Amino acid sequence: MQSFPVIGVLALQGDYESHALALEQVNAQPKMVRTARDLELVDGLIIPGGESTTFLKLLEREGLFLPLQEFVRMRPTFGTCAGCILLAKRVTHPEQQSLGALDATVERNAYGRQIDSQIVTGATSLPGGPLEMVFIRAPRLIELGSDVEVLAQRDGSPVLVRQKNIMAATFHPELSRAGGMSKNVDEHLSDSEDEHPDRRVHRYFAQVVEEHSRQTRSGPSTAHRHPAQAATNDRE
């Protein structure tokens, strides 16, 4: 029987609904994570974009910082934009606290005010050709440990990386569209219906989570059935 991982989305701020939708579209089961108890119920986690300083405050207020730090050592976690900043071991511009999971230095708001938001198409090793990437007040990965794999680049610089069970993107993969459908960020964000989403990055992360669950067999939910499949099987 095929298993479908339960992937949490940290739902304290940011575009967590879009990540949940993207996960559904790649047949993973999304679950909003707001408490330490929620974290125990998921096989992997996405930390969305937003404002990393606000995340830090909210994590502290909810008593989630330490449980999250523990989680990212054990289970696959994907940080996008502010989430990438939270995962990096070293943060500059300015320095700030982090979960310290990804062997990288990240510079916050690295592209300056003039071009603080941009849509760029860049090279990726994910199958299917170049990837549209939406950057919003994005950080820059400026130093990577030797075992950090680069999965996508912008003008030769890493923007999507993986180090074992940790993935990080300096852009917003929940906004990527197939075939470079839009030209500017405002137009992109005001489009409520996205009929051409590119889900390759979420699909890749779901595979990382699935593989990890299979290998460890220690997760709380290693043999999930997708709700639709469960319903079909129950009728049989």
The residue ranges that bind ligand GLN (CB under 6 A) are 49-52, 81-82, 85, 108-109, 136-137
Tokens of 225: 């059935």
Neighbours of 81 (CB within 10 A): 27
Paired with 105 in beta bridges are: 90, 143
Q: Are the CB atoms for 5 and 214 separated by under 8 Å? A: no
Q: What is the closest distance, in whole angstroms, from the C-beta atom of residue 108 to ligand GLN in the complex?
A: 4
Q: What is the closest distance, in whole angstroms, from the C-beta atom of residue 158 to ligand GLN in the complex?
A: 17
Q: Which of 26, 32, 87 shows the shortest CA–CA distance to 55?
A: 87
Q: What is the closest distance, in whole angstroms, from the C-beta atom of residue 234 to ligand GLN in the complex?
A: 41
Q: Which of 19, 107, 172, 188 is catalytic?
A: 172
- Cα three-residue angle 163-164-166, rounded to 5 degrees: 65
Nearer to ligand GLN, 6 or 47 (CB): 47
Q: What is the closest distance, in whole angstroms, from the C-beta atom of residue 70 to ligand GLN in the complex?
A: 22
Residue 174 appears among annotated catalytic residues: yes
Which residue type does 174 have?
A: E
Whose tokens are 């960020």? That residue is 185
| 56 Cβ neighbours under 8 A, 6+ residues apart | 65, 86, 96, 97
Paired with 163 in beta bridges are: 166
Nearer to ligand GLN, 89 or 137 (CB): 137
Q: Parallel, antiparallel, or unpaired: how do β-strands 6-10 and 88-92 relate?
A: unpaired
Could you give phi then psi for residue 97, rounded to 5 degrees? -65, 150
Q: Which of 107, 132, 174, 210 is catalytic?
A: 174
Element (H, E) at 75: none
Residue 51 appears among annotated catalytic residues: no
Q: Which of 81, 84, 107, 210 is catalytic?
A: 81
Residue 107 appears among annotated catalytic residues: no
Q: Give the Cα separation of 62 and 177 in Å (integer).
A: 34
Cα Rg of the chain (Å, integer) = 17
Q: What is the closest distance, in whole angstroms, from the C-beta atom of residue 193 to ligand GLN in the complex?
A: 22
Nearer to ligand GLN, 137 or 226 (CB): 137
Nearer to ligand GLN, 51 or 103 (CB): 51
Nearer to ligand GLN, 81 or 206 (CB): 81
Q: Which residues are catalytic?
A: 81, 172, 174
